[in-house]
């Protein structure tokens, strides 16, 4: 068996009721380790694009792609694993019961992550609570979540799946 690693697939599918259930059902029926699945409509209202991350070895990944290609609702399967792409994941963090000094720490964290090319901002601020919105890579969101957990006592973190698009230049990932 080969090395297990995260692999990325983009699917163009018919935008119909039940397609998401069929695709996700394929993964659960075969006990594939689905890491992330994000779906949204494209520039064509009748077509959706799914971005899927699966943790698998080479042989299993080839089986997944073949099985997806046999589904009637699937228009196109694209392997993004080794392709230059732009990818971001959304993360919301609610930091609760913070002091004014801790609020200053939050803004410093925002500055540091934004300075490294990240899209992060405070989107809601109350007397003792703040909500951050972060659109970073999965790795950077992992780092942000770890730092917030370490720095603050009461936080809620909500994450969405990643979305990706093929790069125009070859210098991206």
pLDDT tens track for 110-158: 999 999 777 999 999 999 999 999 999 989 999 999 999 999 999 999 9
List the single range of 84-93, 102-111, 163-172 with lowest mean pLDDT: 163-172
pLDDT of residue 2: 74
CATH superfamily assigned to domain 85-166: ACT-like. Chain A, domain 2 (3.30.70.1150)
Q: Which residues pair with 11 in a beta bridge?
A: 50, 77
Q: Give the pLDDT band of residue 172 (cuts 50, 70, 90).
A: low
- CATH 3.30.70.260 maps onto the chain at 5-79
Q: Tell which CATH classification among 1.10.3720.10, 3.40.50.620, 3.30.70.260, 3.40.228.10 matches the domain 5-79.
A: 3.30.70.260
pLDDT of residue 121: 96
d(CA 120, CA 67): 38
Could you tell me which residues come within 8 angstroms of residue 48 by beta carbon, excluding any fewer than 6 positions away?
A: 12, 13, 14, 15, 19, 39, 40, 41, 42
d(CA 139, CA 145): 10
Which has more confidence, 165 or 93? 93
Q: Are 11 and 76 in contact (CB under 8 A)?
A: yes
- CATH 3.30.70.1150 maps onto the chain at 85-166
pLDDT of residue 1: 56
**For residue 33, what are its two tokens?**
């380790």
Task: Give the residue carrying structure tokens 């490294």.
Answer: 116
pLDDT of residue 107: 96
Q: Residues 24-72: pLDDT tens digits?
A: 888 888 788 888 899 999 999 999 999 999 988 889 899 999 999 999 9
pLDDT of residue 111: 95
d(CA 13, CA 50): 8
Q: If you average pLDDT over residues 160-171, what whole number do you get?
A: 85
pLDDT of residue 170: 72
Task: Give the residue carrying structure tokens 């000094």.
Answer: 101
Query: pTM for the full model?
Result: 0.81
Q: CA gyration radius for the chain?
A: 19
Residue 98's nearest CA partner among 126, 134, 122 is: 126
């Amino acid at each position: 068996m080969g090395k297990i690693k995260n692999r990325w697939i983009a699917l163009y599918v018919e935008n119909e009721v039940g397609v998401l259930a069929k695709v996700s059902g394929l993964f659960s029926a075969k006990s594939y380790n689905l890491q992330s699945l994000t779906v949204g409509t494209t520039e064509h209202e009748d077509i959706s694009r799914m971005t899927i991350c699966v943790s698998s070895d080479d042989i299993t990944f080839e089986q997944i792609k073949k099985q997806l290609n046999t589904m009637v609702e699937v228009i196109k399967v694209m392997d993004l694993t080794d392709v230059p792409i732009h990818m971001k994941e959304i993360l919301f963090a609610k930091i609760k019961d913070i002091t004014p000094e801790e609020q200053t720490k939050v803004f410093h964290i925002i500055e540091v992550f934004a300075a490294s090319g990240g899209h992060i901002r405070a989107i809601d601020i109350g007397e003792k609570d703040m909500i951050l919105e972060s659109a970073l890579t999965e790795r950077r969101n992992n780092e942000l979540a770890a730092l917030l957990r370490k720095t603050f006592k009461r936080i809620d973190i909500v994450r969405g799946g990643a979305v990706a698009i093929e790069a125009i230049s070859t210098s991206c990932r």
